[in-house]
Amino acid sequence: QAFTFGVFADLGVFVFFFYSCPYQVYKSYSVGISKHGDLLEGFDLTLTEVLKSDIGTTLFEQHLVEEFSAENLTFWKAVSRWKEKYESTADDIRKTEAQNIYSRWLAPSSLLQVNVSGNNVVNLKDALQKDAYAIPETLFDDCSGEVFHLMANDSFTRFKNTPLFKEYLGTGDDVGSGNIISSLREDSYASEVGGSGV
């Protein structure tokens, strides 16, 4: 009986470790994936964060070229530049540049016309046709907001499932050294270690 009990005890320990160890490995892997995201699908970066990076902007624009929608990003960048130098630009030059943006991306005859609501285009055109040069800094906000929303919720979602996004994650752009994934893992580890509230 003692022999039988010992055999069963040893067998029980073996079974426990046989099933427990792989589960712990799997659990650790799953937690790591949930924390740091899948490289191609679940990584929690926003379009705004990617566009702060020159490499990210270039790769995202390449993706848009492949989707035949690069005009969305070029329009958004043109509006951003126009707003950045708004205060330092003379009224007449500011209006001329705004009219050029309208003609290139918003006019019905434009070859690079972006997809925005007709009401927003009409309102913007009316503002440009006024005699006053003092057009508001918010002139393009509604149209550029629509375009950015379209990119963020449509094109960027697909971009995160491409090799181009994986290439972006593997760069050292804007993270000092190493790559973006390893940098975020270090930040996560540092926050966990420092979480004791020193």
pTM: 0.68
**By C-alpha distance, which of 74, 43, 45, 42 is closest to 58?**
74
Q: Six-digit token pair at 34?
A: 């949930």
Q: What is the pLDDT averaged over residues 169-192? A: 50
> Which residues, other chains included, contact 56 with Cβ-Cβ below 8 Å and sequence gap of 6+?
49, 50, 168, 173
pLDDT band for position 43 (50/70/90)?
low
Cα separation, 59 vs 50, in Å, equals: 9
Q: Is the pLDDT of residue 166 over 70?
A: yes
Q: Is the pLDDT of residue 111 over 50?
A: yes
Cα separation, 97 vs 123, in Å, equals: 17
Q: In this predicted structure, what is the pLDDT of residue 44? A: 80
Q: Is the pLDDT of residue 38 over 90?
A: no
Q: Choose between 176 and 127: higher pLDDT.
A: 127
For 5-14, the pLDDT digits (tens) are 555 555 555 5
**By C-alpha distance, which of 96, 139, 142 is closest to 119?**
142
Q: What is the pLDDT averaged over residues 114-127? A: 95
Q: In this predicted structure, what is the pLDDT of residue 31? A: 39
Query: Alpha helices, DSSP H only, in the chain?
Result: 2-36, 47-51, 54-66, 70-84, 91-101, 118-129, 141-150, 156-159, 163-169, 180-193
pLDDT band for position 51 (50/70/90)?
very high
For 124-164, the pLDDT digits (tens) are 999 998 866 778 999 999 999 999 999 999 999 999 999 99
Q: Is the pLDDT of residue 26 over 50?
A: no
Q: In this predicted structure, what is the pLDDT of residue 134? A: 79
Residues 128, 99: contact at Cβ < 8 Å? yes
